[in-house]
Structure 1
Amino acid sequence: MAIDFHSQANRGTYASRHADDGWKAAIQRIVEPSGRRVADIGCGGGIYSRAWHELGARTVTGVDFSQAMVDAAREQAAGLTDISFRQGDATATGLPPASADVVFQRALIHHLKDYSPCVAEARRVLAPGGTLIVQDRTPDDVELPGSPEHLRGYFFECFPRLLAVETDRRPTDTAVRAALDATGFAEVEMSVLWEVRKVHQDWQELKQDLTERTGRSILHDLSDEELAGLILYIETRLPGGPIVEKDRWTMWSAVA
């Protein structure tokens, strides 16, 4: 039941959320976005493309392999200037050489078996001295226990088989650094970010989000009946009032 990113039914799943201010602050600690040309590779519905635009990027180009996602991204960014979207592969974006000052890859590489081709494409697209930022979850990130803030941990407590799926596909620091080194990147740095994914005003709002599997591809590995069981499992563990949902991410930056 894995998610079909090309399906029109899923076109909005990675489009409607807004990037948190904590993420924006983390980006600004790595690079100054203002006036930069940014390529957001694996942009999905353009959530972070719009965030780069809000941070003052001169231009933002989002690239995704799914035309459905690209269509959703264009809709969400309607009326914004200097931001565009195109269909393309992470290993063959179609972007001109040296056309970006920043290449951003969020939640991309865990979908790939081999990171080197996509990293090499990022280096081709970057101008000399440009910055690559890779954001993804490592096995250490996903193995953290569940809590009212870290809801994802409950997924794996309730369905341990999901943890095996998740840890198997997630990148390690060693593997990412090896791909960056092999492709000629320098000044590799790694940091950890607890990013606020979303603030749910009450349980019903979160329940709707979970029921629709919004922005959570791992939940597409559950049947509807299993998902209903997970939702009940989570409900019994949450306090009342607003729910601040967070995820822990690892961020790598490197210079071309």
Structure 2
Amino acid sequence: MDELPFTHKPGRRERQLRRRHGNPLFAWPPQEVLPEELLAAQKADHEDMLAFREHFRALIQRAVDLPADAGSDTVLSLKEALEAHYEQSCALPEDHREERAALKRLIDLVMKTLWRHAGSDPIAQQELSDEETARAIHFRLLEQPLVADLLHPDSCIDPQELAATLLSATTDEIEAVCELFDGAELAQLLERSETRLAELDEQGIDLSQALNRLALIRLRTEQSNLSPPQH
């Protein structure tokens, strides 16, 4: 198999090509990614990064210019934009921890404004508390590249490739991805994964690592189906 010039800190498109490259879980016989395919993915990922940087600067300025007496709708709109940029940064090439830290600080400031708007309203306070909990979970899951790639509005992971992708993932990624799905969705994913490995078993290739990942998916599926419904 020819060595391709994959980058050290790839973006979402290149990451999926790396997962697919020569991987029998995606196709048998294994298919190699073409050099021009990789180059196009790297170029598109780089363009996404340049656009993010431009929008990031504009968003920071928007936050700086936010009037002290801004209404709830204006504040909520800014918060949603900050959260969207945080999520987008996780799918980009290179390292964007500093930008995410800045976005998180701004989100915290915006939330303080929303808490002031809530006043002593117990319903509004509970909604804000629930939102902060959900955001913390969401940002934790986004630390795993596969989660960021799956949640991107224009995800390059085809639903038909999800089983093969998950069977090629790290343990931490599998744990995180399993939190995204409910019991029924995990059961369907487990069935597809089992079917794929059964097909490959006849080819006489080493499936030991994939079988370990399958066991983890099965465990998380069983635990999800045993858990009481969330309200």
Please tell me the TM-score bracket, short chain as reference. Answer: under 0.3
Larger Rg: 2
Structure 1 length normalisation: TM-score? Answer: 0.25
> What's the TM-score, normalizing by structure 2?
0.27
- More strand per residue: 1
Which structure carries more helix by proportion?
A: 2
